[in-house]
Amino acid sequence: QVQVAESGGDLVHTGGSLNISCTVSGLTFDDVAMAWFRQAQGKEREGVAGIVGDGRTIYADSVKGRFTISQDRAMGLVPTVDLQMNSLKPEDTAMYYCAAGFGGAGLAERGFKYWGQGTHVTVSS
């Protein structure tokens, strides 16, 4: 059974930094893509950053240069993916979801089969 679990959401001030983490248990294939999506209140969910097994990454234009996605897929350990968020803005306030799937590099939701429950990030002005 695949389980995706996020953690680390918090309240931060504008300009601050926050790291959120995700563990994906039950998947051990190197070709699994992992990504972070977010959904702000009243808006559609959008892709934020993604990473595939060979380390290639993709970012939404709105977070390029501020957010960094990283992964740890060490043999024998549960894969994890972190999102380091710097220079946070009030418009980054959202529920952040971690997702895993076999759709390759990209931020289209259809490429991700497994989703977590989300962790909330609030950026105060």
CB 66 within 8 A of CB 86: yes
The backbone torsions φ and ψ at residue 109, rounded to the nearest 5 degrees and listed phi first, read: -60, -30
pLDDT values of the chain reduced to their tens digit, one per residue, 125 residues: 899 999 999 999 999 999 999 999 888 767 789 999 999 999 999 999 999 988 899 999 999 999 999 998 877 778 899 999 999 999 999 999 999 998 888 899 999 999 999 999 999 98
